[in-house]
Amino acid sequence: MKKKGPKIFPMDIMTAQERFDSVVRLEEPDRVPLSLMLYYFAPLYAKVPMSRYMTDRNFYLRVMQRVWKDLGPWDLYYNVNPVSRLVYSFAMMMRVLWPGKELPEDDIAKVEELAYMSHEDYDWVMRTTERFSDMFFRLAMLPRFCEEAEGMGMVRVFGKVFLDFIRQLFSWRKEFLWWRSQGAAVQIGYQAEMPFDTFSQARNVINFSMDLLQRAEKIGQASTHMAGSFADLSIFLSKLFGVPTVQCYCHRSSNSFISPEQFKSLALPGMEIITRRIAEAGMTPILHCDGDWMKNLSFMRQRLPAKKIIIQLDGLTDIFKAKEEIGDHFCLFGDVPAAMLVMGSEVEVEEYCHRLIEEVGKGGGFILAGGCEIPPNARPENLKAMVRAVQKYGYYSKQQPSMSAA
C-alpha cells in the first residue's frame, strides 16, 4: 500500500492530493482546498532582494518556507518559479524584463509586448510537421525576442533549452520533496501559453486584431495544427516532473480580447484537442482564464470534457454566475479579488471566502484561491484569513471526522 502524506489540518480526513483529485472529479472532499500563488508576494513579505529570489533556487525555497511557516499551511503549492529566463520565455513566449538586469533590483519581472512574429509565419507553421509544430515554433521564435537565444539557430536553441529544462527538473524535484513532506500537493507539472494565445502575444494586440479581420482562417488553422504537439509536449514534461497536471495559459482567448464567435471558431478547436488529449493521458488540464469569459463558457461546456478540467478565473468573470453555468461540468478555481486582499479587512476577506465556499463550493468541485496572482502588496493578515476560512467554513458536513467514524 502506498504511504499517504501528512494532513494539512488536524481535522482533515484526506491528504491535499486526494482533496485535489476529488474536486477535479466534482466530488465533495472532506473540505474545500486552498491554493495560493505567492511568487511575487513572498520576497516583498520577507523583505529580501527580488533579483536574488528569482535567480538563487536555494534562497527562493528558504523564502517560501518562511511564508509557509508564518502564514500557512495551505493545500496546493503553486509552482511558477523558472530556473532561467530562457525557460520562462519558452513557456510564456514574450520578452521578459528581469530585476537586477533590465529593471531595478527589487522590481517584479515585467513582460514587454514585442511583435516578433510576421503574418507569413502562419503559413510557416502549417508547413511544419504537426507532431513537433509547437516545439519547432517556440525554438524558431525564441531568438527573435529572448536575449539568451539571440543569434542562435534552432539546434543550438534546443540544446540550451534542453539543458535548462534539466536544471529545472532537478530544482523542482528538490522543492517538491519539501512541499510534499509538509502535506502540500504540487499544482503544476508543466505550464505554457496555448497556441492561439501565443500568436496573439507574438503579433501584439494591434497586429493580431488586424489578423483577425484579414486572415482569421489562417489563425484558426495554425492554432489547431499546433494543438496536438502542445498537448504531447505538455504530457511528456509533466510526466518527467512527476506531477500529472498541465497549466494552460489562455490569456488572449477571453471576451476581453476576442468575440465569442471568434473564440468558438478560432481558439476553441485547439483548446478542445489539448484538453481532451491531456485528460485521456490521465492528467488534469488547468485553464488559466484571465479576463471576461462569461460568453465563452457555454461553448466550453459543449466541447470540453466534463469532470476532467479546472477553470481558473480572475475577477473579470463572475465566479458565482460561472458556478451556475458550468459548475456541474468543470472544477472552478478562485476568486478572492486582488483589491480586497490589498485594501480589505480580515473580516471582509474571511466573509467573502465564506460566501465562495458556501455558494461556489456547494456540492464540491471548487478550489479557493485568489484571482490569479496574490498581489505582491497583499496584507499578510488577509492571507491568514483565507487559511482560517477553509478551517472554519470549508468542511463538508457529511465528511466531518466524527460522522465518518460513526
How is the chain split into domains, by residue range? 16-28+39-395
CA angle 250, 317, 377 (to 5 degrees): 85
Q: What is the pLDDT of residue 404?
A: 38
Under the banding of pLDDT at 50, 70 and 90, the label for residue 388 is very high
Phi, psi of 312 (to 5 degrees): -100, 115
Domain covering 16-28+39-395, topology = TIM Barrel (3.20.20)
Task: pLDDT band for 371, please (50, 70, 90 cuts).
Answer: confident
> Average pLDDT for residues 179-194, to the nearest whole number?
97
Angle among Cα 275, 313, 270 to the nearest 5 degrees reads 25
For the beta carbon of residue 40, count every other beta carbon within 10 angstroms. Answer: 21
- Going by C-alpha positions, the residue among 283, 201, 288 that lies closest to residue 248 is 288
**How far are the Cα atoms of 43, 87, 152, 236, 248 from residue 156, in angstroms, in the given order?**
34, 14, 6, 21, 26
Is it the case that residue 160 has pLDDT exceeding 90? yes
pLDDT score of 3 more than 90: no
* Per-residue pLDDT tens digits for 76-112: 999 999 999 999 999 999 999 999 999 999 999 999 9
d(CA 169, CA 93): 20
Asked whether the beta carbons of 386 and 36 are under 8 A apart, the reply is yes
- Cβ atoms of residues 294 and 322 within 8 Å: yes
Angstrom distances, CA of residue 144 to CA of 125, 138, 209, 218: 16, 10, 21, 22
For residue 372, the model assigns a pLDDT of: 87
User: Could you tell me which of 188, 186, 187, 183 has the C-alpha nearest to residue 73?
Assistant: 183
Q: Is the pLDDT of residue 66 over 60?
A: yes
Rounded distance between C-alpha atoms, residue 392 and residue 105, angstroms: 40
Q: What's the confidence (pLDDT) of residue 43? A: 97
d(CA 378, CA 41): 7
Q: What is the model's pLDDT at position 17?
A: 97
User: Is the pLDDT confidence value at 406 over 70?
Assistant: no
370 and 5 in contact (C-beta within 8 Å)? no
Q: What is the mean pLDDT of the chain?
A: 95
**67 pLDDT higher than 70:** yes
Q: What is the pLDDT of residue 58?
A: 94
C-alpha span between 320 and 357 (Å, rounded) = 11
Q: Is the pLDDT of residue 229 over 50?
A: yes
**H/E element, 203:** helix 195-203
Beta strand residue intervals within 165-303, DSSP E: 185-186, 190-193, 245-249, 284-289
Q: Which three cell numbers stand for residue 274?
A: 489539448
Which is nearest to 77 in space by CA: 123, 25, 44, 37? 37
> Are residues 336 and 352 in contact, defined by beta-carbon separation less than 8 angstroms?
yes
54-60 long-range contacts (CB < 8 A, ≥24 apart) are 54/81, 54/98, 54/99, 54/109, 55/100, 57/81, 57/83, 57/171, 57/174, 57/175
Of the candidates 356, 317, 255, 367, which has an alpha carbon nearest to the alpha carbon of residue 24? 367
pLDDT score at 2: 53
The alpha carbon of 151 is separated from its chain's Cα centroid by a whole number of angstroms, namely 31
Element (H, E) at 205: helix 205-214
Q: How far apart are alpha carbons 246 and 302 in whole angstroms?
A: 21
Q: How far apart are CA 66 and CA 101, in angstroms?
A: 26
Dist CA 287 CA 268 (whole Å)? 12
CA dist 375 and 309 (Å) reads 25
Q: Which residues pair with 366 in a beta bridge?
A: 332
Model confidence at 402, in pLDDT bands (50, 70, 90)? Answer: very low
**Is 275's pLDDT higher than 60?**
yes
Q: How many residues does the chain have?
A: 406
Asked whether the predicted pLDDT for residue 405 surpasses 50, the reply is no
